[in-house]
Each structure stands twice: as structure tokens, then as C-alpha cells.
């Protein structure tokens, strides 16, 4: 690891769109002489963020979000849909690859350690719950995500001052209001924040000071305040246009086909499988006992990010059998060596076979 100082970008609250595009811009602008960067930022208005491989229309109540004025923004980081507002302080690491541990799971350990130490310094008994969550006495106080952006390794998360459980449940697409009530109850019971733990959240400056002390201890490096470069800001403006566009929002993590044209011998099926590393959704079109088409989405973290698309193409035409599907996916893992923390070949197989056995509702 390098001993050079880390640049700190402590940004004022920015627009929802810019709170996502700015760390992507710093990542894609990272060059050989660029400093490793820790960024602190909060949005100045509420919005919904979805993971790289999620299908927005399946996960989020888009009409409600439009009516309520909540932008829905896809990020390049994996993970699930989440309601965000000024009660969270985003903590984003944009580092050279060789300045962090080699694997995504090892990076999660180091990054989570910085959050755990921060909470403990504030009097909250946090701990890292692998693969990438932070818990307090069994209740989640945050998660982490990661992505590769050209030469940059990006790891992100947040420090939770407070959280609007009711709005989080409202923006999600659910089958019934009874189901939504269960989500609210689950979030209330199994999620916590600084406000819940301490009664009153500490001042932002206090939290930042504790966090920077934790980062210095974990990374063993100095941290110096800096400014955004002109090229980073220019790239953020370009990304603003991309991230605000309908095409990016609807990319849908591989669900590129409508799966609606059905005739004799063809059926559509759908199912979900919960792996330790996230939920895998599988939509399957079956024709005469073979996979005519398939698409995966979900809240997992995948590297390369094309991995779910790769499996779509790999499995097309395959016989619907656990043995055949397993052989193809295991061969892909051997050849490509993807990093999908907490998701094994058997999890993709389970999603496919479950979908093959479950016809989609009419």
C-alpha cells in the first residue's frame, strides 16, 4: 500500500443526481497521478437509488415516485433499491486498485471496519456482518457496495443519522398494501440509526471527525482536504445527462426482452432465489423443454458487471436440466473467474430451476 496522503472531498449537499454522478466521475477520471479519494456527500432532496442489475419497473413504484417528485436513479454499484435523503452521509472511497486488498470481499472488510470504528467511537456497538452489512445488536445500520470504474476501485456506503421507514416502504413496488405494512414493520424492527441508538444524532462535524480518525487507523495513511478538479466536474456534467436518461434507468440489468409473445409450446416463468450475497431474479422463456431466453436481475454485486448478461447468452438454447445449466455456469466461473460476493454457481442454477418450475402469473 502507498503512504501518500488520501484526498478528502467533503462536499456540501448536492442534488440527488449529482450525489450519484460525482463519485462515478472521480472514479472514471482517476489517472496514474490522481490521488486516492474519500468523498463525503449528502443529497439536498430525497430520491430513490437502484442497483446496477435491478429492473426499476419491478422493484420501484415508478408512478408514485414521479407523483411524489422522487427521482429514480440507477447507479453502477450493485445492491438494492433504497430511499435516500439528507439523513444519510455517503462515504465513498475511490482508490487505485493496488492501494486496496485484492478481492471485493476483502475490500468490504476494510471498508466496513472504518464504519464500525466510527459508530463505536460515537457510542454505538456496531459490528461487521459479512458479506457487506453493518449491524448493531442484530439490526442493520448500513450496507456497502463496490464497483470497478476503469482504473478505480470504488467502495461506498453511508453513516445513518436517521431513516424514513414509511417512505422507503412506499416507494417500493409490492403486491399489496398488507405486504407493504409487513415491510414497514420489518424495517422498524430490524433496522437502526444513530437517532434510534443515541436518542439524538451527533452533529455532522462530530461524525466526520470520528470517521476520518477511523479511516486513518484502518488505512494507515494521512488524509488531506482537497478540491474537485476541473476534469472531474466536467465528467460529472456528462454523467448527469446519462444518469438522468430513460435508457439508463430502463437498462434493467439484463431484462432486455419483453417476454410476452407466447404460442404453442412456449411459456414464460419467473422466480427469485435468495443467495447470501443478494436476491437473484430470473425470468425464463421456455420452449419445448429448452431455454428460449433468460434474464437475470437483482441486488447482488457482480464483477465483471456484464456477468448477468453473459449468463443470459450462455444459457440461451440450453436444455432445462439442473445438470446442463450447472455445467454451463460452472464452466463460466472457471473461465472468467467473476467476483460475486456471496453468490455461487449453485445460486444461479437454483434461480433458473425454480423459475422453470413456476409459471408466471397471467
The pLDDT of residue 359 is 52
* The CATH classification of domain 253-356, taken from the options 3.40.50.10540, 3.90.10.10, 3.30.390.50, 3.40.710.10: 3.30.390.50
The pTM (predicted TM-score) of the whole model is 0.87
pLDDT at 286: 87
Give the β-pairing of 6-10 and 37-41: parallel
* Between 161 and 288, residue with greater pLDDT: 161
* pLDDT cut 70: percent of the chain above it: 94
Coil, strand or helix at 54: coil
Reported confidence tier of residue 76, pLDDT bands at 50, 70, 90? very high
Q: Per the omega criterion (within 30 degrees of 0), is the bond before 304 cis?
A: yes
Instruction: Give yes or no for residue 282 having a pLDDT over 80.
Output: yes
Q: Average model confidence (pLDDT) for the chain?
A: 92
Segments making up each domain of the chain, as ranges? 6-249, 253-356
Residue 22 pLDDT > 70: yes
CB 360 within 8 A of CB 268: yes
CA 347 to mean position of chain CA atoms: 18
pLDDT at 303 over 70: yes
Amino acid 300: pLDDT: 92
Query: How does residue 36 score in pLDDT terms, banded at 50, 70 and 90?
Result: very high
> What local confidence, expressed as pLDDT, does residue 266 receive?
75
Q: Is the dihedral of CA 51, 54, 57, 60 positive or negative?
A: negative
Range of lowest pLDDT (89-103, 116-130, 245-259):
245-259
DSSP string covering 285-327: EEETTEEEEEEEEES---BSTTHHHHHHHHHTT-BS-HHHHHH
Is CATH 3.30.930.10 what the domain over 6-249 is classified as, yes or no? yes
- The residues, ordered by sequence, that sit 6+ positions from 327 with a Cβ below 8 Å of its Cβ are none
Q: Is the pLDDT of residue 267 over 90?
A: no
Mean pLDDT for the stretch of residues 207-236: 98
Q: What span, in angstroms and rounded, lies between the C-alpha atoms of 300 and 243?
A: 20
**Residue 270, pLDDT score:** 85
Please name the residues in contact with 171: beta carbons below 8 A apart, sequence gap of 6 or more. 48, 60, 61, 64, 65, 68, 70, 81, 83
pLDDT at residue 265, as a whole number:
63
Query: Between residues 122 and 266, which one has the greater pLDDT?
Result: 122
> 133 and 80 in contact (C-beta within 8 Å)?
no
Tell me how far apart the alpha carbons of residues 72 and 60 are, in angstroms, rounded to a whole number: 8
The predicted structure's pLDDT at residue 2: 60
Q: Which residues contact 281 (CB under 8 A, 6 or more apart)?
A: 55, 58, 270, 271, 272, 296, 297, 298, 351
Residues 276 and 342: beta-carbon distance below 8 Å:
yes
Amino acid at each position: 500500500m502507498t503512504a501518500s496522503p488520501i484526498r478528502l472531498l467533503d462536499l456540501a449537499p448536492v442534488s440527488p443526481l449529482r450525489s450519484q454522478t460525482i463519485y462515478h466521475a472521480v472514479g472514471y477520471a482517476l489517472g496514474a497521478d490522481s490521488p486516492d479519494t474519500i468523498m463525503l456527500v449528502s443529497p439536498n432532496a430525497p430520491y430513490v437509488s437502484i442497483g446496477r442489475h435491478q429492473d426499476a419497473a419491478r422493484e420501484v413504484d415508478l408512478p408514485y415516485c414521479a407523483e411524489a417528485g422522487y427521482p429514480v436513479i440507477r447507479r453502477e454499484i450493485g445492491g438494492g433499491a433504497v430511499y435516500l435523503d439528507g439523513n444519510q452521509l455517503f462515504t465513498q472511497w475511490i482508490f487505485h486498485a493496488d492501494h486496496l486488498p485484492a478481492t471485493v470481499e476483502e475490500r468490504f472488510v476494510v471498508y466496513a471496519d472504518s464504519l464500525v470504528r466510527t459508530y463505536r467511537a460515537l457510542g454505538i456497538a456496531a459490528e461487521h456482518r459479512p458479506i457487506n452489512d453493518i449491524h448493531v445488536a442484530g439490526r442493520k445500520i448500513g450496507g456497502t457496495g463496490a464497483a470497478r470504474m476503469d482504473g478505480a476501485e470504488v467502495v461506498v456506503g453511508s453513516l445513518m443519522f436517521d431513516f424514513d421507514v414509511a417512505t422507503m416502504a412506499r416507494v417500493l413496488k409490492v403486491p399489496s398494501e398488507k405486504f407493504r405494512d409487513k415491510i414497514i414493520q420489518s424495517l422498524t424492527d430490524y433496522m437502526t440509526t444513530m437517532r434510534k441508538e443515541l436518542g439524538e444524532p451527533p452533529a455532522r462535524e462530530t461524525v466526520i471527525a470520528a470517521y476520518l480518525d477511523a479511516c486513518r487507523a484502518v488505512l494507515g495513511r494521512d488524509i488531506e482536504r482537497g478540491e474537485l478538479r476541473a476534469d472531474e466536474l466536467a465528467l460529472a456534467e456528462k454523467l448527469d445527462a446519462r444518469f438522468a436518461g430513460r435508457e439508463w434507468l430502463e437498462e434493467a440489468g439484463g431484462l432486455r426482452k419483453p417476454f410476452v409473445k407466447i404460442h404453442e409450446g412456449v411459456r414464460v416463468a419467473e422466480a427469485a432465489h435468495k443467495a447470501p450475497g443478494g436476491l437473484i431474479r430470473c425470468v425464463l422463456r421456455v420452449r419445448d423443454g429448452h431455454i428460449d431466453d433468460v434474464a437475470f436481475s437483482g441486488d447482488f454485486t457482480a464483477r465483471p458487471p456484464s456477468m448477468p448478461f453473459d449468463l443470459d447468452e450462455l444459457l440461451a438454447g440450453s436444455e432445462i436440466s439442473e445438470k446442463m445449466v450447472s455445467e454451463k455456469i460452472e464452466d463460466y466461473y472457471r473461465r472468467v473467474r467473476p467476483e460475486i460476493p456471496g453468490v455461487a454457481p449453485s445460486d444461479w442454477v437454483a434461480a433458473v430451476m425454480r423459475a422453470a418450475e413456476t409459471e408466471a402469473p397471467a
